[in-house]
Structure 1
Amino acid sequence: MPITNYSVLAGDPVSGKVVTGSSTHYQITMNAPGGPFTVAVNIQSVDGSEVLYAIEEGFTPPDVAGLLALPMGMTALESVPGGLALDYVRSQVSGRQMITREQMTLLPQVPAKNFKGNEQERMLAQARSSALQNAVVTLLNMTIADKDGVIYAFGSSYADKGQIDGIHDIHMNQGNPVNNHGSDNGVWQDGALLIHLPSKGTWTAIFIAFQTESWTTDSNGNPA
């Protein structure tokens, strides 16, 4: 079964913070009609599913006009080609794949505090594991500084009764092993962050996937 409530949230970011727990995320607060909203971005590897990420500056979204025409706030998307839905395997930009596995960088797990190996190696792994968080923070601050800056967050929307609504699953949502998040598999439902800075005329994309996910998938998003 694919992820629920595939959507895109367009909004004005105002702050961010690290939220720890079973899975560490960087939580962005965004203002938009119907909000405020929270955007939960995976920034650490857990359970052996090492995070892969790519920061693409000078990016061109598959449908720039469609994005700019979106109202601010949460918009439900159909998981079909030809619209705003994203698919890491199938989306094309100017006749080329939107993002490839080869463009992704591995974000290693940080060894536990009782790590018996070389302390220098542990510190290096910790520094490398912070790379994605640092990039998200830098881009968030740039977007906040741009009075017309907008973040477009693609993923699964949710509603917290009595709390703040938001969006998560901001990563590749296909190619999972059947016995490991296989129920989330689907096509045209991948997550990402697209950051538009009108003052600079630039787009930057943040793509996140997991090393356990296959980039060769069938029409149901399952490993082929």
Structure 2
Amino acid sequence: MGLQTYGLLKCKVINKQEDRANYQPHYNVHVQAGIEQYRISINIKSNNHPSELLFYANDDFRHPMTTKLKEFGFGFFEKPDVFIDYIRGNMGFKRENMSKVLLDLQGPNNDVNDILDTYIGAAILSLETELYVFGAKWTNRNTSEPDQIFGFHPSMGIHDIHMNQGNYGRFQGDNGVGQDGCILLHIPSKDQWIGLFLAFQSQSWETDDRTGDMKVVKS
């Protein structure tokens, strides 16, 4: 079935909030795209064992897609012709290049909250950094209800900002090809691109080229 609302959001960062809770924690980012506001919810702990995420950051991300991305205006674009696929998309890394990151670890710059804070915090301070967020869009049907984290309304945002294939069990329905999530940051004055990529250790990297399902199903 895959992600029905997969797409790309081009935006700028307004605010951020860490989350170090043990139950379904998300690192949240408040962004603006034109006149619209969104909450970017980044899953930072797996529900399946092992719980630590796999993370890869590339401070000099280079890919042919960046030329096309510059042409997008601010806003959300559902199922654009530019998409992310960790396995087939020549993204410049493989599973073995990703590092295991803990949710909360004492000390600076050593857990997933700290790492995301470094990049998102810099984007807040910058007047020019643009975010390109790949994931699934969600909206609150109650348009008068403020966002539960940042208070804006109508409340809407992007989630599933991680690899979305190779899942099994109750998350198998999210599998698909060409619909992985990530965050790309662009600093126009330097024409520098930064890529932030997340995956779960339980996900298989040997997936069907049509469905995104793992080729060997776990029992």
Match of 1:185 among 159, 175, 191: 175
Tell me how far 1:25 sits from its aligned partner.
0.8
Match of 2:189 among 199, 202, 215: 199
Distance 1:44 1:169 in 2: 12
Q: Percent of counterpart pairs with the same letter?
A: 30
Alignment of 1:1-224 (within 5 A): 1-19=1-19, 20=21, 22-48=23-49, 49-78=51-80, 83-92=81-90, 97-108=91-102, 131-161=111-141, 162=143, 163-177=154-168, 179-218=169-208, 219-224=210-215
Residues 213, 62 of structure 1: alpha-carbon distance in 2 compared, 3 angstrom cutoff? farther
Distance 1:46 1:196 in 2: 31
What amino acid does structure 2 have at the position aligned with 1:71? G
- 3-state SS of paired residue (1:36): strand
Tell me how far 1:98 sits from its aligned partner.
3.2
- 3-state SS of paired residue (2:189): coil
Distance 1:129 1:137 in 2: 9
Tell me how far 1:139 sits from its aligned partner.
0.9
Question: TM-score with structure 2 length normalisation?
Answer: 0.84
Distance 1:212 1:133 in 2: 21
Residues 86, 203 of structure 1: alpha-carbon distance in 2 compared, 3 angstrom cutoff? same
The answer to whether the 8 Å contact 2:102/2:112 transfers is no
- 3-state SS of paired residue (1:133): helix
What amino acid does structure 2 have at the position aligned with 1:41? I
What amino acid does structure 1 have at the position aligned with 2:101? L
Distance 1:144 1:13 in 2: 5
The answer to whether the 8 Å contact 2:108/2:114 transfers is no
Tell me how far 1:199 sits from its aligned partner.
2.8
Tell me how far 1:102 sits from its aligned partner.
0.9
The answer to whether the 8 Å contact 2:131/2:183 transfers is yes
CA RMSD of superposed structures (Å): 2.1
What amino acid does structure 2 have at the position aligned with 1:87? D
Distance 1:109 1:67 in 2: 31
Tell me how far 1:131 sits from its aligned partner.
2.1
Q: Which runs of 5+ in 1 are unaligned?
A: 111-124
* Deviation string, structure 1 residues 123-154 (Cα, Å, up to 9, x no partner): xx555995221121111122122212101110
Q: Which runs of 5+ in 2 are unaligned?
A: 144-153
Tell me how far 1:109 sits from its aligned partner.
6.2
| Number of residue pairs the alignment of both structures matches | 201
The answer to whether the 8 Å contact 1:44/1:107 transfers is no
What amino acid does structure 2 have at the position aligned with 1:190? D
